[in-house]
Amino acid sequence: MMTLKVNGKDHQVDADADTPLLYVLRDDLKLNAAKFGCGLGQCGSCTVIVDGKAVLSCVTPMVLLEGKQVTTLEGLGSNSAPAPIQRAFMEEQAAQCGYCIAGMMMRAQALLQRTPKPTDEQIRGELVLHLCRCGTHMRIIRAVKRAARLMDTAALTPASEGSAR
């Protein structure tokens, strides 16, 4: 048993130390957002935020997460109370199948917490680790820029773990 802090809550998790975080999020905590894409750290669809940094949860074993704070897309906001990044992706209609989108959004969120007004180049550079097969890239870039404006307009401080709005 180990304690895993996800979206501001402590969870007692019974998983082997080598279990990648992704499986614990999906299988034990029943969270949908982080996706299995490759299990190899090549596509980014499993991305979550750990202590403010975007992390590939499919290649991050539980043993490395003791005492860390994990944020998933569910921790940012909800359908009825979406976070700026979620509002932005809805407003830009930035998805087709949407399977890669949760991971993209988490990396973008981490970028915006660090760099509130990123340039196009910074956004592209950051998202280069992520694959989208439907070809929604133009909208994703627009959505990240819109999220930056929404966060700025709302004069919100960079989101703290698990309570970002």
Per CB under 8 A, residues contacting other proteins are 15-16, 19-20, 23, 26-28, 30-33, 35-40, 42-43, 45, 72-74, 77-79, 82, 86, 89-90, 93-102, 105, 123-125, 127-128, 130-139, 141
**How crowded is residue 98: how many other Cβ atoms within 10 Å of its Cβ?**
14
| Distance of closest approach, residue 70 Cβ to other proteins, in angstroms | 13
User: Are 78 and 85 contacting, i.e. CB atoms less than 8 angstroms apart?
Assistant: no
Q: Which lies closer to other proteins via its Cβ, residue 68 or residue 137?
A: 137
Q: Which lies closer to other proteins via its Cβ, residue 31 or residue 110?
A: 31
| Distance of closest approach, residue 14 Cβ to other proteins, in angstroms | 9
| Distance of closest approach, residue 100 Cβ to other proteins, in angstroms | 5
Distance between CA atoms of 62 and 160, rounded to whole angstroms?
22
Q: Annotate 5-30 with b (16+ C-beta within 10 A) or e (fewer).
A: bbbeeeeebebeeebbbbbbbbebbe
| Distance of closest approach, residue 55 Cβ to other proteins, in angstroms | 17
Q: Which lies closer to other proteins via its Cβ, residue 113 or residue 144?
A: 144
Q: Which lies closer to other proteins via its Cβ, residue 69 or residue 136?
A: 136
Give CA 6 to chain center in angstroms: 12
Q: Which lies closer to other proteins via its Cβ, residue 2 or residue 38?
A: 38
Query: Which residues, in sequence order, are CB contacts of 102 under 8 Å at separation 6+?
Result: 33, 34, 35, 45, 47, 72, 73
Distance between CA atoms of 56 and 37, rounded to whole angstroms?
11
| Distance of closest approach, residue 158 Cβ to other proteins, in angstroms | 20
